[in-house]
Structure 1
Amino acid sequence: MYKKILVPMALDHGVSNHTLEIANALRAADGSVIALHVHEAPQGSVSAYLDEETVLAGFEKARDDLADKLSGQPDVEPVIVKGHSARTIIDYADANGVDCIVIGSHKPGLSDYFLGSTAARVVRHAGCAVHVHRTPSQ
């Protein structure tokens, strides 16, 4: 059983309920679960067309969406940070003494073999145990 489990949450995917169930099953009696959403700021030329207020509104919406996803999960701590998904998940886990990451993954496509999905990068570079929940094929 794990004392501190991190569950990265992509707010636009439906896998979160499964990964939270897995985290709760793996949690020690005195353990904790952290639901982490990494908010990626708009990149490249898109950012030139967005003012600060719009970017802040997007961050606040993500914070509200995370709270909505976690309603009914009283023992899960919500955390939202800004950064690049895979790197930020790994850095957060390292900095906060996480001993297991439970992450969802889609069925990999050809581009994932060349670029790598977030889950694949976390598996390769995390300094702790990683449990990957693969969603069933659609």
Structure 2
Amino acid sequence: MYTNILIPIALDHEYDVQRTIETARRLLATPGKITLVAVLENVPAYVAEYATVKPADHIRAEIEQRLRALATDQEGLDAAVLSGKPGVAIPDLAAETSADLIVINSHKPGVEDYFLGSTASRVVRRAPCSVLVVR
């Protein structure tokens, strides 16, 4: 059983979030905590220089609100919004918070994943703790 579980959420692929939360709950010891994590990737400087509005705080608040909505009516779920590259930020958070398990969804691979790489595979390679990939 695990006492500190992270669940990374890609808000553009949130179709299996409840199933992932249920999986994490089955593995959670009492007392224990589960944290839903979303990562806001940084806007490249060459793009940011042309933006007239700096929406980072607004976007961060919206993402946190969406995470909290996923946790509605579910006890013991925290939410965290990070900045950076997901494959790096998630393992870093796991190390900082002494997480003992990351439960991450893996969508079915396609050509775009072959060329871009998969967040799940990056998390697996870098994580300082166990990782359960839910398919």
Both structures adopt the same fold (TM-score exceeding 0.5): yes
Q: Which residue of 1 aligns with 2:91?
A: 90
Q: Whole-Å Cα distance in 1 between the matches of residues 71 and 44 of structure 2?
A: 28
Question: Matched residue of 2:11: which SS?
Answer: coil
Question: Matched residue of 1:15: which SS?
Answer: helix
* TM-score, with structure 1 as normaliser: 0.87
Q: Whole-Å Cα distance in 2 between the matches of residues 36 and 88 of structure 1?
A: 10
- Runs of 5+ in structure 1 lacking a partner? none
* Cα RMSD, aligned residues only: 1.7
Going from structure 1 to structure 2, the CA distance change for 1:49 and 1:60 (only over 3 Å counts) comes to farther
Q: Which letter does structure 1 place at the counterpart of 2:33?
A: S
- Residues 18-46 of structure 1, C-alpha deviation per residue, up to 9 Å, x if partnerless? 11111101001212111111111323543
- Runs of 5+ in structure 2 lacking a partner? none
Q: Which letter does structure 2 place at the counterpart of 1:11?
A: L
> What is the percentage of aligned positions where both structures have the same residue?
38
Q: Which residue of 2 aligns with 1:32?
A: 33
Of 85-94 and 54-63, the range deviating more from structure 2: 54-63
Q: Whole-Å Cα distance in 2 between the matches of residues 108 and 81 of structure 1?
A: 25
Q: Which residue of 1 aligns with 2:131?
A: 130
Question: Matched residue of 1:71: which SS?
Answer: coil
Query: Are residue 5 (structure 1) and residue 5 (structure 2) matched?
Result: yes
Q: Which letter does structure 1 place at the counterpart of 2:65?
A: D
Q: Which letter does structure 2 place at the counterpart of 1:39?
A: L
Q: Which residue of 2 aligns with 1:116?
A: 117
Q: Aligned runs of 1:26-65 on 2, under 5 Å?
A: 26-43=27-44, 45-51=46-52, 53-65=54-66
Q: Which runs of 4+ in 1 moved over 6 A?
A: none
Q: Whole-Å Cα distance in 2 between the matches of residues 50 and 74 of structure 1?
A: 39
Of 84-93 and 46-55, the range deviating more from structure 2: 46-55
C-alpha deviation, 1:96, in angstroms: 0.8
- Residues 92-124 of structure 1, C-alpha deviation per residue, up to 9 Å, x if partnerless? 001110010000011122443454200011111
- Counting matched residue pairs gives 134
- Residues 53-94 of structure 1, C-alpha deviation per residue, up to 9 Å, x if partnerless? 423222221121111121122211111121111100000001
Q: Which letter does structure 2 place at the counterpart of 1:112?
A: D
